[in-house]
A and B are shown apart, each in its own frame.
Chain A
Amino acid sequence: MKIIKNLGLIIFLIALALFTALPFFGSYSVESREAVEQTLKPEEMALFGEEFIAETQGKTYSDSWGIVSPALKVYHEKNDALIAAQDWGNVVYSTDKDLGLRIARMSQNGPVSQNKGLFLFLTFGLGIIGSLMWIIPNLILDGPPGIKNDGVYHSSATNRGWIGIATAVWLIGFYIVLYFYPWLMVESITVADPVKGLFIAGQQASQWFLYGMLYVVAMVVMGIRMYIKYRHNKYQMVRTTSVLFFQIIFAFLLVEILPIFGLPGKDLKNAMPLDYTFLYKYNVEQLLDAGMFGLFLLIWGFVLALIVVPTLVYFYGKRWYCSWVCGCGGLAETLGDPYRQLSNKKMWAWKLERWLVHGVLVFAGLLTIWVGWHTFTALSGPDGGDGQSTLLGISAYNLRDWYGFLIGSIFAGVIGTGFYPYFGNRSWCRFGCPLAAYMGIVQRFKSRFRITTNGGQCISCGNCSTYCEQGIDVRAYAQKGQNIVRASCVGCGVCSAVCPRGVLKLENGPEEGRFGNEGPIVLGNDGFKIEV
């Protein structure tokens, strides 16, 4: 068994090393003028096409940075000159990410783009096989079903040791490349082409398709780990099934399948304000252009955020979304499960959490008002007008850019996932997610959900607090016989699972008595009562 496990680890590491090394496999050159003309948009071609062709003629670059950076340099020089001359009619608004990736795609040569299937197997295939060989033997090696957290704080992977730090560096690097320099990973994106082709034959994958595929694979593989680890706990089994279902069907398959029928590929469960692009002009226009289904999506977006979300939080707590449906939560509960104990339980972290997460909620609210106003004025104004993008002297475009950069990319991605092995698996959900903040307010003040403490049975051991991914000091309540009613609780149920004395239970019930023991005396002491 141990041999299979170790062999699995080796196979996984080989696949990971290969995947990481892919950017160095290709070579990049411009084949022909036609290729450039097909890749660049006409306005881009007009702006800097000739210079780019002249610059790259006859040259071969060993990495995508080499060919993309001169292109971006000449693009910006030319464009800046137009802006300086206020020649707005000819200014081009392409983003570096999009332009860079198109140029890298056009110019790539080498083994990966010629053997996509082979490299798909060597990276994703071997990665999956290796990790399953590592995970499945735990069925036997870990002994009978039950909580098995032995060695969590002895392992450098899960106690912020060197493996943890190395993992964090890899993840952070991955997210930075994905969000800001996608052309660097053009070979990795190419590997996803055969899978993309299953949906629409011959179509190329984007960096987001690769990311979606990686996301699903990571969740399924680590979901299998959850099934094995918590096979004695049906709540965890059902919940894991739920997050996998919503990720695979709603966040991945439907998003790919809908466009096949000419419909917008939207993730139907992605609620505002987590989905901050919903009211962006391009999105609303796309939905309005998509007939009845588009109109349905537009209405559903509002119904989901304003009616479905708060109603279900009232009945079941925010767990129905955060740890049963949400994609960020789904990744945290599967890939992130080994890191849950690393969340900070200190009082100062709780204070920081309240400032940050509600700050982001305010930011998201402002963004929604600004882009909503912009979209509304554009659509209700004369045809083809851009509407009023500026309100109270602040530009909706600026807000969009800052929110997208700071919250959408840095906070949710780089910090939220990149720092799993350091800050734990829910730092985005706890400190940054505006939807979590919104639902948290409902959960704290108007909900039937609570975690009930079982009378006086708590022994203050601290397993609940340690394994709370949201950094709630569960024990502080349990040892006083109080129930846990906290805005940040995502209802993962792990506190209840790791409790060695059967003290905690997630429950929905009448709001009366929701906070549990209010007196200083814990159940079991009949000597006296103290009125509070």
Chain B
Amino acid sequence: MSKIVIIGNGVSGITAARHIRKNSDDEILVISKETKYFYSRTALMYVYMGHMRFQDIQPYEPWFWEKNRIDLLEDQVEKIDTASRSLIMKSGSDVKYDKLILALGSKPNKFGWPGQDLKGVQGLYSKQDLDELEENSPSAKRMVIVGGGLIGVELAEMALSRGIEVTFLVRESKFWGNVLPDEEGKLISNHIKEHHVDLRFNTELKEIIDDGTGRAKGVITSTGEEIECQIVGLTAGVSPNVDFVKDSEIEVQRGVMVNEYLETNIPDIYAIGDCAQFNEPVNGRRPIEQVWYTGRIMGETLAQTICGNRKAYDPGPWFNSAKFFDIEYQTYGIVSAQRADDEDHYYWEHSDGKICLHIVWEKESLKFRGINVFGIRMRHHLFDQWLKEEASIKTVMENLKTANFDPEFFSSYEAKIVDGFNLKTGMNVELKKKNWWRNLLNA
């Protein structure tokens, strides 16, 4: 029986721990400096907004860990001694390991802005960030958010729920410009403005102003404007949280370097989740993937390897989801912000400007490549299958009714969507009647 130590109790570390326990009797220890119990990082916003209490975003009750013999340690690892296979802890103690899993997560980016370490300047990543935001909130009248991505919108929604006004600085000319095509970027921008967010495109943060006591009192933007605010939210992406690993023998570039088996350069040491950087891209994906789902898949995969069933990381077709204020977003496959030359696309938007569908396929072969939906839910199973079997765009459009995952009685837009599609492409897709979705599954 060996001792497996996991540093980090986020989704990747905990998924690994659960699956290792399913397949082995090894001793498992999870170390976290952040919280005792695993919680859903993506749900921090709901605690702040009062939708849930902190205990509600913990997916397992406290007895779960004891019952499954997953030991928990609240402490901070200062140093990894790979020679003696031990961790030197902040509390002074030593922790031995046979196998070590680094699931270290990320930290918010700071790009050397003057004043970035003042009080009232913060990101939103950890429980500690949430606590800090609670402290900063009561006296705040305005928050300036820097960086136009998912966490920025979440932070804006949070601030507004407490009556704090928001100015949102976005470097690009549209919202989430590196991910969303123009059409969707515009739709979401309009929705953000509908919520009375002061949204500024092509504007960067230049400097944060000190009020004289070490606390932020405003920002100066790249246009020279001074905006008074009490909180500055830094949401310009995250990077792997790997500083303390750099002093060890483990190879680190931006993240902890791993091969497709999630193995580092040191035997019996692995890295998963946000902190892992693949030395060669897997399935054409980015070398660092900071997404809930990929963290979970890495955890599932590594648990197999640890338990003697060596498996490479092999995520299926890309999928993701988010919610921007009131508008849900799902994506399956690849819909790039900039369309490739060999691609064709079709965009449909409802007249209320809050529902849209954007679908992309390969021009020549008509192979379906990806879909973005806003305000419509779609079935993961069917799109996963269509992407794997390289289904034709026609197959997808024909079966749109069956692929729909909206609740019962919701308005259905498939007929309009397919009509528009036929009109634009000259194809002659006939929308099929709604079928029981499992009838379309192969297996």
Residue numbers of A with Cβ under 8 A of B are: 143-147, 149-155, 232-235, 237-238, 341, 346-347, 452, 454-457, 459-463, 465-466, 475-476, 479, 493, 496-498, 500-502, 505-506, 509-510, 512-513, 520-528
**A150-B49, A455-B379, A461-B43 given as contacts; is B56 within 8 A of A233 (CB)?**
no
Interchain residue pairs with CB less than 8 A apart (29): A151-B161, A152-B50, A238-B409, A454-B381, A454-B405, A455-B380, A455-B381, A456-B293, A456-B296, A461-B57, A462-B52, A465-B56, A466-B52, A502-B377, A505-B406, A509-B436, A510-B438, A520-B22, A522-B300, A523-B381, A525-B316, A526-B314, A526-B316, A527-B304, A527-B312, A527-B313, A527-B315, A528-B309, A528-B314
Chain B 277-310 against A: per-residue CB contact (8 Å), 1 yes, 0 no?
0000000000000001100110011001000010
Give the interface SS of chain B, mostly helix, strand, loop or mixed: mixed
Interface centre among B43, B161, B311, B378 (most CB of A within 10 A): B43
Q: A528 and B311: CB pair below 8 A?
A: yes
Chain B hits for A151, CB < 8 A: 49-50, 161
Chain A hits for B301, CB < 8 A: 525, 527-528
Q: How many A-B residue pairs have CB under 8 A?
A: 177
CA distance A461 to B40 in the complex (A): 6
**A235-B409, A475-B59, A521-B300 given as contacts; is B42 within 8 A of A149 (CB)?**
no
Q: B50 and A493: CB pair below 8 A?
A: no
Query: Smallest distance from the beta carbon of A523 to chain B beta carbons, Å?
Result: 6
**A153-B52, A235-B409, A475-B59 given as contacts; is B330 within 8 A of A525 (CB)?**
no
Please tell me which one of the listed residues B11, B58, B195 contacts residue A143 in the complex, with CB atoms under 8 A apart.
B195
Chain B 82-113 against A: per-residue CB contact (8 Å), 1 yes, 0 no?
00000000000000000000000000000000
How many B residues are at the interface, by size bracket?
35 or more
CA distance A476 to B58 in the complex (A): 11
CA distance A409 to B43 in the complex (A): 40
Q: A235 and B408: CB pair below 8 A?
A: yes
Closest residue of chain A to B328 (Cβ to Cβ) is A502
Chain B hits for A150, CB < 8 A: 49-51, 161
Query: Smallest distance from the beta carbon of B47 to chain A beta carbons, Å?
Result: 8
Interface membership of B246, Cβ < 8 A? no
Give the interface SS of chain A, mostly helix, strand, loop or mixed: loop
CA distance A501 to B319 in the complex (A): 12
CA distance A457 to B329 in the complex (A): 11
Closest residue of chain A to B44 (Cβ to Cβ) is A461
CA distance A454 to B404 in the complex (A): 11
CA distance A83 to B304 in the complex (A): 78
Interface membership of B338, Cβ < 8 A? no
**A460-B40, A500-B328, A502-B321 given as contacts; is B50 within 8 A of A346 (CB)?**
no
Interface membership of B407, Cβ < 8 A? yes
CA distance A505 to B382 in the complex (A): 15
Chain B 342-384 against A: per-residue CB contact (8 Å), 1 yes, 0 no?
0000000000000000000000000000000000011111001
Query: Smallest distance from the beta carbon of A228 to chain B beta carbons, Å?
Result: 14
Please tell me which one of the listed residues B49, B194, B406 contacts residue A149 in the complex, with CB atoms under 8 A apart.
B49
Query: Smallest distance from the beta carbon of B52 to chain A beta carbons, Å?
Result: 5
